Structure 1
Amino acid sequence: MKKITILIPVLLLVKTLIAAQSIQAQSKTKDDEIKVDIHFSNGFAYDELETYVWDTWNLEGYQRSFKSKVTGNRYHIKLKANKPVYLGFEADTNSLFHSLKAYSARHGFIAEPGDELHMEIGKHLDMGILNIRFIGKGAGKYRCMQELIRQVNGKSKTRKWAFWLDTEQLFARADSDRVTVAQVMGKYKNQLSSLAFKVIELAYLQGIYSSAIDKLGDSSDRKLLNKYADKISALKAKFTKIEAGYDKSNLTFLYRLAVLEQMINQPDAPGLGYYRTHFKDAYLLLKRSYADSPALNEILLATNIFDTVAASGISNDAKACMADLLSFANKSGVLYKQILAIQQQYQTNFESGSDAYDFALPDTSGKTVRLADFRGKLIIMDFFFYGCGGCITTAPVLDSLEKLYGDKEIVFIAISVDGTKKLWQKGIGIYSSKNAVQLYTNGLAANHPLIKYYRVGSYPTIVIIDKEGKLISAHAPDPRSAVGWKEFTSVLERSL
């Protein structure tokens, strides 16, 4: 059965099609509930959708998911919630908010306790948020988003790419868009809660200024840094007013603003490029920059640690920063518990020489393949999914490694985290190495115990296991670069 993806977006570009008909609210929502009713007015050929729910402050993505049937052309959910959450509705990678002529949805959208949202959707699958009619309590934020997309994102079709513009042109464009955002937000202000207003406003400010901030952050032009000093300070002050509902991209934006502020105040300070490869220095910069905002400082530092560890594994610098954060973080808070769990899991599972996860996964023939089947061989285990940009560039490198070590006691295993077998099979040999043992996580994706065990947070991730089933590296060096290739092959040579 083919399925589709539905996401309620924070910031996206979408294609305009026909508006759908409205439906009436059915029952009053309690203050500790969120209700969503999706009506496919022209029929719907699919039997179920999956709902994802995640806390805006949760480091590890969505917290829970569940599937519900589409009956009578309707999909209905009711959630208990005493604070705002992000919601997503998905299956596979197709999306009602995706268009080949626009960007696809990247985030769920904030939903608040007491919301009773009704979405009326027409018969086309490639439609986007502009073709959906939103009514009910809480619908104002989505109507606001629709107008922002038309007024701001719609300009991108006739604009030059940011790459071709200089810093001053990018700031001028962003300032113009900011005026438009203010006008639209003013129009819908009475229909939004204060939280929803801030989430949408910050999402758009982050979006329209990102290119200008990045270009300035990679520059050493003192004249430009001084010219935009007041603007950087004003943006930082606005984003620093922390409250529940921050999107992770806002936190990334705050990190970039901190780098720029230091560049403005210290002529010899390094730019964004330096901090992309110097994790500990980035951590210390954030700690200094937001010391006056303890709650914000904690979430920034925790996010920085989590993202780095998920992408690159736990280095000595990461261990030191983790220990530092745990020394002053709020011990009763969710973030403290999550970072502590990461620290404990890495100490237990990820130290070189610890037992590798004893997986049992189906291959393309349906046969169950286990870790023990490869005893006596060095294992290169690659995690991938269909559509992964990094995976498609890593696959040829893994093919080269297979050829180089073809006569050695090495086995290459590719493990898919796709939601369906169809996507898994479609990605084999394109997003994974051609001759690897191809295994599947049975549609569980990030919920599979194997993925949780290794805390796979970015793709591709490569794990190396020795001939005795002991872990060598839970985050092997990236072999795509010359340096990474040398480090990767050195690990293999030492382990054969």
Structure 2
Amino acid sequence: MKSIRTLYTCLLLAFISNSLYGIGTLKKQPIFKGNIKTLKEARPIDSLLIQFYRPNSILTDPEVFWIKPGKNGHFSFKLPYYSKPAIMSIQTVQQKKLFTRLGKYFVEQDDDVNVTITNKPHQISVEFSGRGASKYSIVDKLKQIDKDLESVYSDLKLYEPDDFNSKFDKVNIIIKRALEKKSNILNAYNLGNEMYKMVNYEYANIYSKWDYWLYSISIKPTFHEQANRLLLKQYFNKYKNIFSYESDELMSFCPELIISLSCRIRFDIIFNSNSDNADIKDYYKIVKEEYPQSIRNQLIAWLFSSKLALSYLNSNDTVLDSLMEVGQDDVSIPFLRQSISDVQKLSKGKNLFNATFTDFAGNKVSTGSLKGKVILIDMWGVGCTNCAIFHKMFEREIHPKLEGRDDFVVLSISMDRTKEKWDEGMKSGFYTSPHNLNVYTDGLMFNHPFAKYYNIGYSPFLLLIDKQGKIYSSLKSTVTANDILNKINEALKSD
């Protein structure tokens, strides 16, 4: 009897311990349940595109979820568990090609949110309720501040150098009022202390607007005159520390803020030099010396992972390659460090990884055997909507202009699990065509050596290779047909 009491006591203590400390409890996943209300004459919403970015992300390579609503418009989904706040973007899809972005939101593990989407003929709106809904509902309110500031540049004629000081006195007043309005909105919602700060950093970034206005002024010919440039420099330096946030580790969860910080660094270099551009080495030096590790991680990863960030900085392939090597050592978050390595492998001029695939007859096809041709690598899978959209666009707008060339080939790689599924995809005509060089990963999918080398976890994956077997360009399926065709023609003309 005594042993039974002892057993019960141990079990009770274990239960209490689990309850108090969460030991052995299941990890919670964010839950979303909702309904689409389609009004008369509105195009039906076919699906929802959810893009999910893990904590500390820089808005690249999201995990993608396609949500198909039921006949009554109901839908539900869960997102992966993370102990820290992540980011989710929601888009509606109509007629499989019309995308409407509803918003980008912070996601926390305890969220249990009800989503109501109202689909009107020329407008789609969204409302949120439930646990954690405040940080979703506030986004549209803060968007209005951005809209209110859109016309400031033209209304005040900031592009004209006359009465410079008076105009920027007005700018300072506008910024002060916008900050007060933003503070009132933030205080009206039930946000915890940390989420309050993160929402403040990420949405309606008024300081970023100020940066943009000044940069837009600086590139006008009238401000190339030394006197006007000096006035702009003095004004920027006087207020740059006032119109900025103090460094905070929570900023590392705010990707839009990281992008705006990147712009601020570049503008600071330009305004305080005699050049119209910033040098990448100067930029990197500021990031490394003036920002804490938590923010430095994102700034360095954004610099090397974004073609947009690099396009505004003076550099060359040698300097860029060297800084990428240094950058991997300076970043402490493994997946961000990996993202820099992945970008480096895909840089223009790098040798293509020599991989072997299998055609439908069972013959082996290596990428090295195609040297001498320009290759467009297209990795796809059955059920991938973006893959089908890209293929349709390519066949209609690009293939007819390249047909018959013996120095160009589309290497169409199926990422499907089985040969039968690959065959289904080929016969459907949605993802590839008979005139392509159609091959298969032998069911290895993203575990194929080629996919593992380039850390590919999404489709379509598009890569353009020149005749020497070197990477010419990493492509996105969202760019226009003309842009892709121009890249292919450039590669065909290069030696």
Separation in 2, partners of 1:187, 1:372: 59
Which residues of 2 match residues 316-465 of structure 1 at below 5 A? 316-330=318-332, 333-340=334-341, 345=345, 351-352=350-351, 354-355=353-354, 358=357, 375=370, 377-381=372-376, 409-411=406-408, 413=410, 463-465=464-466
Residues 152 and 177, structure 1, Cα contact 8 Å, conserved in 2 = no
Residues 251 and 295, structure 2, Cα contact 8 Å, conserved in 1 = no
Per-residue CA distance 1:451-472 (angstroms, 9 max, x = gap): 8866799x99762244xxx722
| Aligned CA distance change for structure 1 residues 328 and 231 (closer, same or farther; 3 Å) | same
- Residue 237 of structure 2 is aligned to residue 229 of structure 1: yes
* Partner residue, 2:258: 251
Gaps of 5+ in 1: 1-29, 362-366, 429-435, 442-446
Separation in 2, partners of 1:234, 1:359: 61
Separation in 2, partners of 1:49, 1:153: 26
Deviation (angstroms), 1:488: 5.0
Deviation (angstroms), 1:253: 1.7
- Residue 248 of structure 2 is aligned to residue 241 of structure 1: yes
* Partner residue, 1:112: 108
- Partner AA of 1:223 in structure 2: L
Q: Percent identity?
A: 11
Residues 360 and 370, structure 1, Cα contact 8 Å, conserved in 2 = yes
- Partner AA of 1:473 in structure 2: I
| Aligned CA distance change for structure 1 residues 228 and 89 (closer, same or farther; 3 Å) | closer
Bigger-Rg structure (1/2): 2
Separation in 2, partners of 1:196, 1:54: 17
| Aligned CA distance change for structure 1 residues 90 and 448 (closer, same or farther; 3 Å) | farther
Separation in 2, partners of 1:179, 1:440: 60
Separation in 2, partners of 1:356, 1:31: 39
Residues 170 and 212, structure 1, Cα contact 8 Å, conserved in 2 = no
Separation in 2, partners of 1:60, 1:180: 27
Indicate the larger mover: 107-116 or 297-306.
107-116
- Residue 159 of structure 2 is aligned to residue 166 of structure 1: yes
Other structure's SS at 1:243 match: helix
* Partner residue, 2:382: none
- Partner AA of 1:166 in structure 2: Y
| Aligned CA distance change for structure 1 residues 460 and 45 (closer, same or farther; 3 Å) | closer
Separation in 2, partners of 1:231, 1:183: 20
- Partner AA of 2:183 in structure 1: M
| Aligned CA distance change for structure 1 residues 252 and 324 (closer, same or farther; 3 Å) | same
Separation in 1, partners of 2:215, 2:412: 35
Residues 381 and 462, structure 1, Cα contact 8 Å, conserved in 2 = yes
Separation in 2, partners of 1:42, 1:148: 26
* Partner residue, 1:121: 117
- Residue 162 of structure 2 is aligned to residue 145 of structure 1: no
RMSD: 5.7
| Aligned CA distance change for structure 1 residues 186 and 316 (closer, same or farther; 3 Å) | same
Other structure's SS at 1:134 match: strand
Residues 355 and 471, structure 1, Cα contact 8 Å, conserved in 2 = no
| Aligned CA distance change for structure 1 residues 346 and 487 (closer, same or farther; 3 Å) | closer
* Partner residue, 2:317: 315
Residues 464 and 474, structure 1, Cα contact 8 Å, conserved in 2 = yes
Which residues of 2 match residues 264-303 of structure 1 at below 5 A? 266-268=272-274, 270-271=275-276, 274-275=277-278, 278-288=279-289, 290=290, 292-303=291-302
Residues 350 and 473, structure 1, Cα contact 8 Å, conserved in 2 = yes
- Partner AA of 1:228 in structure 2: F
* Partner residue, 1:4: none
| Aligned CA distance change for structure 1 residues 163 and 65 (closer, same or farther; 3 Å) | farther
The number of aligned residues is 411
- Residue 44 of structure 2 is aligned to residue 36 of structure 1: no
- Partner AA of 1:73 in structure 2: G
TM-score (structure 1 length as normaliser): 0.62
Per-residue CA distance 1:427-459 (angstroms, 9 max, x = gap): 99xxxxxxx969999xxxxx89888866799x9
| Aligned CA distance change for structure 1 residues 135 and 97 (closer, same or farther; 3 Å) | farther
Separation in 2, partners of 1:212, 1:40: 39
- Partner AA of 2:87 in structure 1: Y
- Partner AA of 1:321 in structure 2: L
Other structure's SS at 2:250 match: coil
Residues 152 and 181, structure 1, Cα contact 8 Å, conserved in 2 = no
Per-residue CA distance 1:80-116 (angstroms, 9 max, x = gap): 33111112344657799977xxxx55x6311123222
TM-score (structure 2 length as normaliser): 0.62
Residues 454 and 474, structure 1, Cα contact 8 Å, conserved in 2 = no
Residues 143 and 204, structure 2, Cα contact 8 Å, conserved in 1 = no
Residues 54 and 64, structure 1, Cα contact 8 Å, conserved in 2 = yes
Residues 170 and 211, structure 1, Cα contact 8 Å, conserved in 2 = no
Higher strand share: 2
| Aligned CA distance change for structure 1 residues 453 and 182 (closer, same or farther; 3 Å) | farther
Separation in 2, partners of 1:89, 1:198: 22
Residues 358 and 439, structure 2, Cα contact 8 Å, conserved in 1 = no
Other structure's SS at 2:205 match: helix
Instruction: Tell which has more relative contact order, 1 or 2 (C-alpha 8 A, sep 6+).
Output: 1
